[in-house]
Structure 1
Amino acid sequence: MAAVDHSMVWDKINDGSFRFDDELMENLFGYTTIKNQSSERNNHLTASNKNNSAPTSQVFILEPRKSQNTAIVLRSLAISHQEIVNALLDGQGLGSDTLEKLTKISPTQEEEAKILQFNGNPSKLAVAESFLYHILKAVPSAFTRFNAMLFRANYDPEVLHLKKSLQTLEMGCKELRARGLFLKLLEAILKAGNRMNAGTARGNAQGFNLSALLKLSDVKSTDGKTTLLHFVVEQVAQSEGRSCVINQNRSIGQNTSQIISPNSDNVTAEETRKEYLIQGLSLLEGLSIELSNVKKAATIEYESFIHMSSTLSNLVAEIKRLLTLSGNAERGGFAREMKGFLEECEEELKVVREEQARVMELVKRTTEYYQAGALKDKGAPPLQLFVIVKDFLDMVALVCTEISRKLQKKKSSAVTTGSSSPPLSPPLSPSTITSNKLQNFHSHFISDMSSISSSESEDGF
């Protein structure tokens, strides 16, 4: 460092009291003398040569890759072999993560036989083979027990999930039976369809297949600027918004003896219409909350859901068979622990199966309530109704957002130009909807609803 005529920070550091642990630094970073490095390198090479020249003393029985993978899993377990044996005998004491790992290294029957037939020195066995040898010698049914214990560990969350799915389906059916905005939308779509089909055999339809809901956005207006879905949403929003504003004014009038008229002199018809539309859009945007369980029900994976109770029942039967085969031959409290658990399972699963049958009947009747004869289509998914309604609600939410943005854009434009709000485009009439893509849409309208049996009537629901 160059000589300076003033004090520096390094002067104080050099005279400081801090001292390194030289040995620790050498161990961590390899700082040592050249002589030591050379000596250690020579020692390492000598030891390496000795190890390479010595033949391996481990005995492998499993296929090499499986033996290696099993050893890796075993090293990841924070539990001793003896603790595992004790847990197997007692039927408790292992977490679900540990049990899941152990079930994944289960040997085949052929591998089990080879390991149990080994008559050499057990201490010579490789890691995987040694574990399997000692576990199977202590508890021959070890891996069947691991599966049983894993089933027990996972039983409560799986049954809870099944019960929640049943509750969701039941609540979804009740939401679809309620008289709300969804029915208002269906009414508007039916009337729009009848107006478009006027003069045809489908011009006085009493209902329509709900799959038509997903085709509304495909039906364009003659100028191509909007769709039948936008038209219906805007019409329903204005109607509901008008009712909402009038009810609010009546409420204010009852409290203050003053009715605020939406058509007062200082409010133009266009502004009133916009107010109705804004109010109605906010109501329609709440449809996803009104039918929240319907949307949840649409996400249920039917095959997994419908077979869950039978799968659990089959596993219970398998564990009972294990207990019967083992009898009193094996020591420990495994049989006692599992027996009490199985008795509770059988009672609970019986109730769950009955509840599932009741709820699925409710789903069937709700589907028939909306679509007569829908269940005659053997290929139709049983929960299709919920999926259709969910997709339709998503479409409605998107349209509400688009209309709201359009209103906001017009408002911003009016403020920028300093003029009054430009008029909204006049509401479309169904007669202005183009005939393109209507053929498939028309086919969903039903002129004769007599096929609906009295059992699907609302009173009988």
Structure 2
Amino acid sequence: MIESLFGYNLQNSMKNDETKSKTPSPNKHLLEPKRLQNIAILSKALNATAREVCDALILGKGLSLQQLEALVKMVPTKEEEDKLLSYKGQVDELGFAEKFVRAMLSIPFAFQRVEAMLYREAFEDEVAHLSNSFTMLEEACKELRSSKFFLKLLEAVLKTGNRMNVGTTRGGARAFKLDALLKLADVKGTDGKTTLLHFFVQEIIRSEGTKASKSIMGQKRENGTEEEKEEDCRRMGLKLVSDLSAELCNVKKTATIDLSVLASSVSNLSTGLANMQNLVRGLLCEDEKNKSFVISMKWFLNYAERKVQDLHGDEGRVMSRVKEITEYFHGDVTNEESNPLQIFVIVRDFLEMIDNVCNDLKKSMKPPRAICVE
């Protein structure tokens, strides 16, 4: 039903094209009907004639990203190419799609030129994406290593665990794996409601709020009841804990990165560059007829070589940073972690748990009072 309603009517299109050119209807097609239909749709979407496309391929410029993407999808198989090039009949007897591809095949290495031009058009966006991802990873490592408040939380978790396990084989621990942070919400108190996570966050808020209050007030005398002062301290502590999520913003973003996709993107850039080098400096360089395309590509090729080399350097440096930060918190995990970024996933999930507790506590707090200082 979809094909009958919305499909490209290949035969009608050919009749229209042939009526305009006043040529007889073709008796047979060299390519399969479905393939013809796809190529016909793509060629119509180009908004350019076969001659204009061929001229652009000779010069190595003049086609947009969208046009190049459409042309890449037309790449004929070896069998299709042989059929089109070995055809000895009248060219006018061929259908529109077949004539279009056959015209392109008259240009030496036409579709390799298309791929090279597409590589050049998409290059900057791909490099920018990879560079931003590597920068984010590096910043995430710095955030985790330099956040004093996060380290303070870890110390408090360790002390809490040791206090709960005093007198057991688990007591007196000097370290713990970060994934233990995600288990804090699973431990419930005797009331069946309060979790260890809630207790832990409330105690951090209380202690940090008290320190912040003393530091801010200094020698100033504050009015208000003890209960109001305590509420103000809690409010300050709550802000400090809530701000940790923003402090580790790149850690949270990094947790969504698929490292295998990044590595694959860098590899694909290298492969595309190698193909372009082979085309420009090998297949086309000796024939004077290809001079315009070679000249058009040479400057970009030199530029792309430097950029891809820099990306490989960035990738190596960043992966070294990730390994260092993972070992800093987890020790030697060479054969343990299937996902090298697992540490960032754990911290992100832990921060989300803390944020949820903080939001619950905010709802239960009284509105802030006006503080009069003499």
RMSD value, Cα: 2.0
- What is aligned with 1:140? 108
Aligned pairs for 1:194-209 within 5 A? 194-209=162-177
- What is aligned with 1:260? 221
Matched residues in 2 for 1:403 and 1:183: separation? 23
- Per mean C-alpha deviation after superposition, the further-off stretch among 108-117 and 176-185 is 176-185
- What is aligned with 1:126? 95
Greater Cα radius of gyration, structure 1 or 2: 1
Per-residue CA deviations over 1:375-419 (Å, capped at 9, x if unaligned) read 331x431111111111111111111101111335xx7xxxxxxxx
Shift of 1:98: 1.0
- Does residue 388 in structure 1 map to residue 356 in structure 2? no
Indicate conservation of the 8 Å contact 1:169/1:293, yes or no. yes
* Bigger helix fraction: 2
- What is aligned with 1:282? 239
- What is aligned with 2:153? 185
Per-residue CA deviations over 1:118-137 (Å, capped at 9, x if unaligned) read 11111121121010011112
- What is aligned with 1:348? 307
Give the residue type in structure 1 aligned to 2:298.
K
Matched residues in 2 for 1:214 and 1:142: separation? 56
Indicate conservation of the 8 Å contact 1:60/1:125, yes or no. yes
Matched residues in 1 for 2:309 and 2:46: separation? 37
- Does residue 155 in structure 1 map to residue 114 in structure 2? no
- What is aligned with 1:361? 320
Matched residues in 2 for 1:405 and 1:181: separation? 24
What secondary structure sits across from 2:154 in the alignment? helix
Q: 2:216 aligns with which of 214, 237, 248?
A: 248
Give the residue type in structure 2 aligned to 1:308.
S
Indicate conservation of the 8 Å contact 1:58/1:126, yes or no. no
- Does residue 239 in structure 1 map to residue 207 in structure 2? yes
Matched residues in 1 for 2:243 and 2:175: separation? 25
Shift of 1:56: 4.3
* Identity rate, percent: 42
- What is aligned with 1:371? 330
Give the residue type in structure 2 aligned to 1:243.
K
Q: 1:308 aligns with which of 265, 268, 282?
A: 265
What secondary structure sits across from 1:375 in the alignment? coil
Matched residues in 2 for 1:229 and 1:287: separation? 16
Per-residue CA deviations over 1:42-71 (Å, capped at 9, x if unaligned) read xxxxxxxxx9xxx94364211101101211
Q: 2:285 aligns with which of 324, 327, 348?
A: 327
Unaligned runs of 5+ in 1: 1-50, 254-258, 412-461
Indicate conservation of the 8 Å contact 1:185/1:232, yes or no. no
Matched residues in 2 for 1:382 and 1:338: separation? 38
Indicate conservation of the 8 Å contact 1:172/1:297, yes or no. yes
What secondary structure sits across from 1:161 in the alignment? helix
Per-residue CA deviations over 1:233-277 (Å, capped at 9, x if unaligned) read 111111221222222212xx4xxxxx225xx6x413x43332222
Indicate conservation of the 8 Å contact 1:81/1:131, yes or no. yes
- The number of aligned residues is 344
What secondary structure sits across from 1:159 in the alignment? helix
Aligned pairs for 1:428-443 within 5 A? none
Per-residue CA deviations over 1:359-383 (Å, capped at 9, x if unaligned) read 2111111111111122331x43111
The alignment's TM-score, normalised by the length of structure 1, stands at 0.71
